[in-house]
Structure 1
Amino acid sequence: MATTHNKTKAFILLTLTVSLPSVIIIYSMSKSNPTANFRRINPRDSISIAATTDSTNNGPPFIANIRPFPPNKRSQVVPTIANRTIKHSTNCGSSVRVVFLPGNWIDATDSGYQAQNCDVPCMYTKDTSSSAVKSADAVVVYLPSHSKHPDNLLKKYRIDSNKVLKVGMSMESIRSHPHQFDYLSEYDIEMSYRMSSHVPDPYFTFARGKQNLLEETNSTWKSREKAVLFVARNCKSNSQREQLVKMLQKFVRVDSVSSCLNNKHWPSDIPRIDKRALLRRYMAILAAENSIEDDYVTEKVYAGLITGAVPIYYGAPNIDEFVPSDSIIKVPHPLTKSGVKEVAERIERVFNSEEEYNRLTHFKRLGSYEDRFLEMFNFTRIDVKCRLCQKIMSLKCK
């Protein structure tokens, strides 16, 4: 049935959940601009699409807010944010302005806004002056540094909590910072290492360009030290990894070159800032997390995979989702003498067999990532700041 509209602009909000066996291509086209804007979307992604149509001017292209479906049977230590009613209304077509409050690790200017190259207009800053916060669409609070009610913090910076979206951000484990998610329900967006968050920010990402697991190491099995490297300064971990080192040392050689359980000097010919150069000398690395919890997979395991040092991994129970298949040696949790002894026997096989070492580093010789790994991390090809702006834009457009 045809309907006549007097308004020249119409706003359309579509929310699509896509789960198809092939790649989806989303495009936008207007009468005044017949050129389509194409964007490839991973078939496993959950997609929110906001579009505007304009009978007189070119409307902005479709905006896709992309995040992966949370893996099935994921145990959650704390609940994620529920759908909340956004109290404020903003112009959907304007740029997104984000203020990162002190405590965040994001590299940003502290004087005015800077632009991020995204598919949505994205501006961000660490500037907390009145002029900057007044024009902000969202503020980002680093939860480990500010675990209290967010409104108290926003008042400090003269920010009206009813006029901005509140983003709770964290890259720290729950056990290290047990109260960081106490007020998570007061936030509109969660941005964290947890894959169930609105804007997941895992430690492995394609966007930053420095984590190529397929990197050529130029080190052979014969040239590597038949020992496990351990690098850690914190000797009071929640995971009791120090106990693991002591237990493992009863069966195999473990070189601790930093302050925790130190038994070997850092090589004089390698700068202390060049950990990867040191890793290329060793057959294995003890990649032991500070905390044991789902999704908390830090750079430790990836440093080993990049440099060809076989990771002896102690950490997230769901680690298999985050690394290439059959590429690590897992230490069972909780620690037992028999479990550690079995791990030591596997390490010895790597020390004594080039074939075993090659089997665990097979992904480097393939020259490409397996489909499962790509499906897990393809969304990280979009920088996390862009994905945050996408999410904010989708909420603004509501």
Structure 2
Amino acid sequence: MEKIKIIASNKSWIEQSAVDQLKGIASLKGIIKAVGLPDLHPGKTPVGAAFVSEEMIYPHIIGNDIGCGMSFFMTDVKKHKVKKDKWIKKLEATLNIKDILIEDTFDDTTSFKEKMGTIGGGNHFAEFQEIEKVFHEEAFERLELSKKHIYLLVHSGSRGYGESILDEAIKKYHAQKGLKIGTFEADAYLKKHERAIYWAENNRKMIANRFMKLLGIEMTRVLDSTHNSIVRKAIKNKEVYIHRKGAAPADVGAVVIPGSRGDLTYIVMPKPSEVSAYSIAHGAGRKWSRGGCKERLMNKYTKKTIKQTQLGGAVICKDKSLLFEEAPEAYKNIETVIKDLLEADLIEVIATLKPVITYKG
């Protein structure tokens, strides 16, 4: 079995530093496979990657935002009835999403309760979308989706809770050196890791609940997937652990792969494959580092145009630096990422969506 595999065409923007990071992780004890996906880019550890291990797990591979993922909701609002200007006005008047008070239905015993139901910074977002095109009618209908309705995609994670778990594992158990499966240290980490996965999933639900209250709408969750996690899996009668860092699972059904705020979002049905470590890309992946984005783009945008997208969407973000750091130019072309996955026979495209309102902060 090929130990290191990069699934990307020559058209994909893959930095050598990301490849070097991938190789570095592949050299760790117990790692039997390292996969770089088309959205691969450098981070503290490579993002857009999946690693398979035996007998060992490495918490630092998946990082501090344990449970980060995507939740996809269908609203009860039909797109021709969206009061877009009214929604924008209400969202812009909300200084912080946390200010939208709702009933707390999640029994949170952590010290991070105040962050529950908040999006966070960086590349996290909530985006209202509408169906642009359906490619697979049967699969679309099986998911009980509607071409007429507005959707909400939420990208967020464990909001500091996961970071506290990683910090503890490193300080108490020296987890950066790896944790051997079956030991007290590995069991303690994995138990808290599962709590963070659950916490992050409920965080995304609560974010949706806040938007429902603010806008006076209803919505139902259709899909949810986690792209920062360690998952146990039996492969050929062998127990292994799949570490996903910015990689969507390919073995849990349909998933959503968003582009930048200026690109389409894709609903796809993955084709589980050992070649890809049962994983696919989770998004477009960064092309530029955050530092310098504002300087590179200041002359291209005005205060007004930076809050608009080429697909007609509006952007709501009170952090001026983040507006530039998350500009479409800072990301890879999502069409190239999707094409690479199609050529590798890892997905089937069900539908695409285009942004209506992107909310950050």
- Structure number with larger C-alpha Rg: 1
Normalization by structure 2: what TM-score? 0.24
Under a length normalisation based on structure 1, what TM-score does the superposition of the two structures give? 0.22
Higher RCO (CA 8 Å, separation ≥ 6 residues): 2
Larger relative helix fraction: 2
The structure that is strand-richer by fraction is 2
